Structure 1
């Protein structure tokens, strides 16, 4: 599994040739790319409807949308993205097979909506657990699993459900504070998730979320977690399978 962070919460994920773009927003200071520079993904995963997460969704019209039914309907109206997984999107708790990948949707603690001159409810904010094997109650030490937490506050489901049952090997967590977790709560999330690798995201895009990611590195260490924190340079691929020795 290859992961590429494009700044903010935008990730490109390649699972054995099945490609996914999560929360496309390239108007951020970390990336040097524009949407046209990115290979067209097979699937477009949208955690929620805030503009800094769907701002460039319309640039990927050939991708199948993976989002809640409410958000899938909204991006169809707003961007003409008519192709949604299952014909209508998916919802929290569900797992869908996408080519060689399996994607499980989990809730995030955040808000949702679109300010376009009217209030449009977009369903629950979410995160995604992406794996190369179907999740079951039988632990699979050979599977490779990545958790994109979306925009979220710290929540006990990370400790009680996502960590022990969905078993992510790696997690991307927001550290910007103000609108999401800051470094210390994000570090607790990493500890609860019991991941081997952690990536900070959703920081430095706007003044309210400017952060030194080394604060996050120190906070993770302070929890006693053995996770390795990677402060990535944007647009540089990270081979998760290789990092896990698989």
Structure 2
């Protein structure tokens, strides 16, 4: 019997620079039955879902549901599903006509979730007869305001954080706290957190524009805190400590 590839979908995470970060994909019970009935071969490895099936299979439109688990605990801290309501569960939908998108789904509509552990999101594949389904699901990384905590000899100096990546529209930082022990510089906007990305910020002396540190380390999702801003409000930030 001759088989043809009908599904080739990859999963990746923005935080890990496009790596799958060890996602484990498990078909729902109903999907497993459909695959068996259609005599489809399902190959799941390294964040990829590939289906091979005979030419006579999947003669009608069908929806397949998979659950995606995290093998790295850190995934929970670096994934951005802020657009999904608290009482909903994120579902990545892949279709031939609509591409790839995330939407929230009522948890009651996914009863198997109650019996599963470590599921980050669900993967829903909409199959159309005679049309191979291909695409890449990019799991969004968390965006936070960055906070550089400067101690040591530069703590009391007037400093500037320079954005070397976006010269025309740079990220701006404000000094929200200054003492002889430590000064805090918080970005005005949220910045994506990506593991292994090249450094983009420099530490400058405000008065002379002299570069004091050419490459500031990037903030990490492992160090999250609440910072008080100069207007009296507070914000959740990703901290990065500097002691030249």
TM-score (norm 2): 0.23
Structure of greater Rg? 2
- Of Structure 1 and Structure 2, the greater strand share is in 2
